[in-house]
Amino acid sequence: MSEDEPTGDENDDGAGADPAELEAIREDLDAVESDLGGIEDDLEDAETEDDLDVVEADLESVRTDLETVEIPDPPETDDEDEDEDEDDEPAPEEELQDRYDDLESDLDDLGDDLEDQRGPYAEDVVSEIDGVSGTITGTRWTVEGDEELIEATDSFLAGLNDLLGSSVSTADDLEPASGAELGESGAQEGNVPETLDATLDDATEAVEDADLDPDDDAEIIAGLLEATDDFESEVDEATEWTDLEVREQLRREGFYDVLDHVKDFPPEWHALKVHEKRGNVDQILLAYDSLGSEFMEEHCLESLERMGPEEAIEPMVQKAGRRDEAAIRILGKIGVAEEQVVDALVDYVDSNPDLQKPAFRALGEIGAEEAVEPLAQQLVADNPDVRSWAARALGLIGDTRAIEPLSDVLEDDDEDRVRASAAWALSQIGTKTALEIVTEYEDDRAYLVQAEADRVDLSEEPAA
């Protein structure tokens, strides 16, 4: 052989990897996929932390196996041939890389599911108690607030002692400062927060001393977490010094007029519920604008979402502009396709999935025809969830311009659940053309698509 002749190892013709090598890679990926299926079953059957430890070890082993698989680069093509090859089947190396990526994603998802299934742990209880304690010491309270903190702490400790068999309690002589003991500003200057902080240190020590096992003592830990959540809510509701100014404003605006009395603190949540029942949107918006509490803001938004009042459009458009999911949902419930509403929602059509989901739904609920084109563009998004949400939003809008792109999804999409969403959307559009497209899939490979086709009733003449 002359020095100029190529050796058998050289690959200057861009023909790609050796078929035998590709087949070996496929077998490796098949093995990883099979192992993942077994691990998924083991995770579903896991009942103890030891079981989960075994699953975690198996996941790491499979991850190591996957990381040893090396996918060769696809053969290079001449730039002038790229346009001609756009419709060609992907190279085997590209298919293998896609499969590798899917398996890697499945591994991550199983890891997340594993972590979700763990616990809860005693450390979670200690962390929650420390958080409440920090709120108590980091806030300036009124006399009423001190009274409410003592009552809330006593209630929490009673539950903790019942679960642990401990005897932690507040000092018998602990009382809020009297009016004469207030500071120059009128704010509470007593020692209640500091004393409660020390008492809660005793509570966390009792939890740690109990040496709770996440398996054997799961019910006790769950009970402690529930008690801690209730404790946190009661502390959030306790009267801060800064609340007084806000409450005076609300009182002058008649917010508390729906209550028989305002001696019990805090009355805001109770008043909010009454105003919701009576449809007093202006009072709910007043509370939303005035109260600085995250707790009350959350409940104001929940009330507005249940009511869907048009009076809330302006503030919810502003809040939606700050990437707030609750405000986006509320705009959908209001259901008015004003230009400012549609513009605010369309801004999130090409966003992250956390914002896309409520935005798509809201656009569908308000029937925003201006959103048909940007939503249709999301039918080819990489994320199948996004494609499915976009299809259903288009179905809710019901614009016939969506028939063709939805038909393409039904015919070509790789995910059957996305295809089923497209079939549902075409049925919602409900024209003769749309329904006839769906009926062509009565014998589809996917049950979800078949089910949507079976629901179509052409006995009644649909619109053309």
Give 265-310 pLDDT, tens digit per residue: 578 888 999 999 999 999 999 999 888 788 889 999 999 999 999 9
pLDDT tier for residue 377 given thresholds of 50, 70 and 90: very high
- Could you report the per-residue pLDDT of 186-206, keeping only the tens digit for each? 333 458 999 999 999 999 999
Q: Considering only 22-36, 60-74, 77-91, 216-230, which range has the smallest mean pLDDT? A: 77-91
Do the beta carbons of residue 329 and residue 361 sit within 8 Å?
yes
- Per-residue pLDDT for 261 more than 90? no
- pLDDT above 70 covers a percentage of the chain that reads 89
> Is it the case that residue 181 has pLDDT exceeding 50?
no
Q: Say what the pLDDT of residue 408 is.
A: 96
313 vs 182: which has the higher pLDDT? 313
Q: Is residue 350 predicted with pLDDT exceeding 60? A: yes
**Mean per-residue pLDDT for 228-232?**
94
Check residue 186 and give its pLDDT: 37
Residue 141 dihedral angles phi and psi, to the nearest 5°: -110, 155
Q: At 411, is the pLDDT very low, low, confident or very high (cuts 50, 70, 90)?
A: very high
| 232 has pLDDT over 60 | yes
pLDDT above 90 covers a percentage of the chain that reads 58
Mean pLDDT, rounded, for 351-355 = 91
Whether the predicted pLDDT of 182 surpasses 80: no
Q: Give buried/exposed letters for 95-118 (b at 16+ CB in 10 A, else e).
A: ebbebbeebeebbeebeeebeeee
Is the preceding omega at residue 92 within 30 degrees of 0, hence cis? no
Q: 93: Cβ–Cβ under 8 A, 6 or more apart, which residues?
A: 16, 17, 22, 71, 72, 73, 74, 75
* pLDDT at residue 131 greater than cutoff 80: yes
For the full predicted model, state whether its pTM sits above 0.85: no
Which has the minimum average pLDDT: 114-118, 260-264, 286-290, 318-322? Answer: 260-264
Give me the half-sphere count of Cα atoms (radius 13 Å) on the Cβ side of residue 464: 0
Q: How far apart are CA 52 and CA 56, in angstroms?
A: 6
Note the pLDDT of residue 89. Answer: 78
